[in-house]
Structure 1
Amino acid sequence: MGLRRSKRRNESETSGAAPGGYGQDGSAAVELRGVRRQYGSRRGVVHALRGIDLVLPRGTFTAVMGPSGSGKSTFLQCAAGLDRPTEGSVRLGGTEITGMSENKLTLLRRTRLGFVFQAFNLLPSLTVEQNVLLPMRLAGARLDRRRAAEVLTQVGLGDKGGRRPSELSGGQQQRVALARALVTQPDVVFADEPTGALDTTTAAEVLNLLRSAVNGLGATVVMVTHDPVAAAYADRVLFLADGSIVDSLTRADPATIADRMRHLTAPAPSYAGAVA
């Protein structure tokens, strides 16, 4: 099942406008420069990130892997503006967010970023359609029910808009979460272990939808995962260890990714980073 470009987006591209976050200005979707994140002080300092330099082009699918405690969650939180780095710069869709006020940052997350989590995070009291429209409601924007219907159809749930999350399977709930993440045509979709609670078949369906969002819509996806099979759907896999990017693979198969995970070592001094 693939995702189709919306008519509205095609019209915008024809006119030369940059619709939503799928801008055509050539700027990077995600850019981190010298990003460090420390917790605690003095003897209790924890170096969660140790100087990340990274550029991710628009329209790419990147997986981030690493052992427990490697900094994956902190990386995602800093890249998505959910946490502030101790040092360094973060840009999303060409916008510097490092010194942005909390109010502006909240608005940016609601209008230009999409999120998919392992736990789905759907509101049980709302219908499927209302859950998908939630980013627009929170941003104070006009509720575009046609757009909601469009993305629900794209994820195979066009007839489920009036249902409650409790009436859906786990895989269907994750599809609703994906539709919610895509509804505003964000600069970046951040996915944190999106298949962790799903069986193998359902996980493959969700990963195919993420892949289709990149191929068919020009979306940019950054996914943290522990699963080599999931990571193999990405264009590129970044490996974190001890707060640093220590390796990367391009269009690798699950066996190669799993083997690289088993042989992760501390950062090599000669490694120049993962700048695309």
Structure 2
Amino acid sequence: MGLRRGKRRDAGGTDPARGAAAVELHGVRRQYGRGRSAVHALRGIDLVLPHGSFTAVMGPSGSGKSTFLQCAAGLDRPTAGSVRLGGTELTGLKENELTVLRRTRLGFVFQAFNLLPSLTVEENVLLPMRLAGERPDRRRAADVLGRVGLGDKGGRRPAELSGGQQQRVALARALVTRPDVVFADEPTGALDSTTAGEVLALLRSAVDSLGATVVMVTHDPVAAAWADRVLFLADGAIADRVEGADPARIADRMRSLTAPRTLAGAAL
């Protein structure tokens, strides 16, 4: 049994527009505070990402990566601008509508795994379906666990698994609802290089085999090289982007973003 991407409905009960981009941000700004102490985390982001694509987001500390991910995923509301996911405008949705959308149409993978220790692997994977009010589909859980190489671990507890295996469970949980977009925040940050490569290969496979759309924040050029494109943020804006780049080229672009800041700090 394979994961098939079925027809979806938005938070308002209508089908998303056919052919709509997976992620769209237009003029997105996010400001914290006011006056002279205001922090401008995002300064007018314009971005369109197609379905079935893998995008990595990189940038120096404080560049706006986390805020970008939170606004794109409907976890935070922008101060200005428009965010659309699969043709659904998020900006005007009520909080309960955003919650429904996140539970039914988005998947999340975090650095810390965020598995519930009291639940089995299978129960952790099925949790998004339960939260969305759907009937848990054990066959679908078995399918996604098989895809991430954990078909025989459904009855285990997270504490019985290695870190890499726990992140595979988190990935299976993110995929079980057949989401429009999977948002991954430093998904390999807590893993060794070999295990990280295995998890990244699974994310790549989700895009290539299942048609998933993945948006991944990372600090690692090796991880970013698995993506179709890399966006570089600096001071809350998109400073550069590359496609099909290897780790060396990505690392060079990162150095070009951080070097001016380092020199300016030294001058002070």
Q: TM-score, normalised by structure 1?
A: 0.89
Amino acid at match of 1:228: P
1:232 corresponds to: 225
Identical columns (%): 81
Structure 1: segments with no counterpart, 5+ residues: 13-17, 267-276
| 1:26 counterpart = 2:14 | no
The CA distance in 1 between the partners of 2:19 and 2:98, in whole Å, is: 23
Instruction: List per-residue Cα deviations over 1:71-124 (Å, max 9, x = no partner).
Output: 000000000000000000000011001110000100100000000000000000
Q: Do the aligned residues in 2 keep the contact of 1:78 with 1:84 (CA within 8 Å)?
A: yes
The CA distance in 1 between the partners of 2:249 and 2:42, in whole Å, is: 25
1:74 corresponds to: 67
The CA distance in 2 between the partners of 1:265 and 1:38, in whole Å, is: 23
2:138 corresponds to: 145
Match of 1:216 among 209, 212, 216: 209
Q: Do the aligned residues in 2 keep the contact of 1:228 with 1:255 (CA within 8 Å)?
A: yes
1:136 corresponds to: 129
Match of 1:122 among 92, 115, 118: 115
1:83 corresponds to: 76
Structure 1 counterpart SS, 2:62:
coil
The CA distance in 2 between the partners of 1:24 and 1:5, in whole Å, is: 25
Cα–Cα, structure 1 residues 56 and 159, in superposed 2: closer, same or farther, change >3 Å? same
The CA distance in 1 between the partners of 2:88 and 2:114, in whole Å, is: 27
How far residue 43 of structure 1 moved from its aligned partner, in angstroms, is: 1.1
Instruction: List per-residue Cα deviations over 1:125-151 (Å, max 9, x = no partner).
Output: 000000000001111111111100100
Cα–Cα, structure 1 residues 24 and 51, in superposed 2: closer, same or farther, change >3 Å? closer
How far residue 25 of structure 1 moved from its aligned partner, in angstroms, is: 2.2
| 1:251 counterpart = 2:244 | yes
The CA distance in 2 between the partners of 1:26 and 1:249, in whole Å, is: 24
How far residue 26 of structure 1 moved from its aligned partner, in angstroms, is: 1.4
Match of 1:94 among 87, 94, 107: 87
Cα–Cα, structure 1 residues 70 and 193, in superposed 2: closer, same or farther, change >3 Å? same
Deviation >3 Å, runs of 4+: none
The CA distance in 2 between the partners of 1:129 and 1:24, in whole Å, is: 33
1:183 corresponds to: 176
The two structures, once aligned, show a CA RMSD in angstroms of: 1.7
Cα–Cα, structure 1 residues 20 and 120, in superposed 2: closer, same or farther, change >3 Å? farther
Q: Greater CA deviation, 140-149 or 227-236?
A: 140-149
2:150 corresponds to: 157
1:262 corresponds to: 255
The CA distance in 2 between the partners of 1:29 and 1:265, in whole Å, is: 30
Structure 2: segments with no counterpart, 5+ residues: 11-15, 260-268
Q: Do the aligned residues in 2 keep the contact of 1:20 with 1:186 (CA within 8 Å)?
A: no
Amino acid at match of 1:43: R
The CA distance in 2 between the partners of 1:214 and 1:20, in whole Å, is: 21
Aligned residues: 254
How far residue 69 of structure 1 moved from its aligned partner, in angstroms, is: 0.1
Instruction: List per-residue Cα deviations over 1:145-191 (Å, max 9, x = no partner).
Output: 11001000000000000000000000000000000000000010000
Q: Do the aligned residues in 2 keep the contact of 1:20 with 1:187 (CA within 8 Å)?
A: no
| 1:198 counterpart = 2:198 | no
Q: TM-score, normalised by structure 2?
A: 0.92
How far residue 265 of structure 1 moved from its aligned partner, in angstroms, is: 7.0
Structure 2 counterpart SS, 1:263:
helix
The CA distance in 1 between the partners of 2:256 and 2:106, in whole Å, is: 33
The CA distance in 2 between the partners of 1:94 and 1:228, in whole Å, is: 31
Instruction: List per-residue Cα deviations over 1:11-69 (Å, max 9, x = no partner).
Output: x5xxxxx3689x89211000000000000111110000000000000000000000000
The CA distance in 2 between the partners of 1:166 and 1:230, in whole Å, is: 26
Amino acid at match of 1:93: G
The CA distance in 1 between the partners of 2:239 and 2:8, in whole Å, is: 35
Cα–Cα, structure 1 residues 242 and 69, in superposed 2: closer, same or farther, change >3 Å? same
